[in-house]
Amino acid sequence: MPASQVGPIVVGIRRLGLDVVALEKPRTGICRIAGSATCNLLELAPSETESYTLGPRPLATGTYPIQGWTTSSDVPGGFSGSVSVTVQ
C-alpha cells in the first residue's frame, strides 16, 4: 500500500431505467448524476476507504442492469462488476 495519498480515482454506477431517489457521495470528488452516476477526482489517504451509494427507483417493471466501475492511474486494472435487478 502506498504511504501517500492515492488518486485521482474515478468511480461510476450505470443504472439504466432507474431513477436515483437517494444518494450518498464519497467524502472527496466531484459527482454528477446522468446516464451514469460518476464521481471524478476522488483522493484516498493510505488505508482509507470511501463509499458511493445510490438509492434507485425503477421507472417500470422489468429487469435492469446495475454496473459499477472504477479507474485510476495509481491503481492498475481498476474494478468492474454488475448485477441485474428484476422489478415486478
Domain CATH number, residue 19: 2.60.40
Asked whether residue 75 is assigned to any structural domain, the reply reads: yes
Rounded to two decimals, the pTM is: 0.68
Asked whether residue 60 is assigned to any structural domain, the reply reads: yes
Asked whether residue 79 is assigned to any structural domain, the reply reads: yes
CA-wise closest residue to 78 among 87, 86, 88, 67: 67
Asked whether residue 1 is assigned to any structural domain, the reply reads: no
CA-wise closest residue to 26 among 68, 77, 86, 80: 68
- DSSP β-bridge partners for residue 7: none
Q: What is the pLDDT of residue 63?
A: 92
Q: What is the pLDDT of residue 3?
A: 62
How many folded domains does the chain comprise?
1
Res. 5: pLDDT tops 50? yes
* Model confidence pLDDT, tens digit, residues 23-79: 888 888 888 887 678 888 888 888 888 888 888 888 889 998 888 888 888 777 778
Asked whether residue 83 is assigned to any structural domain, the reply reads: yes
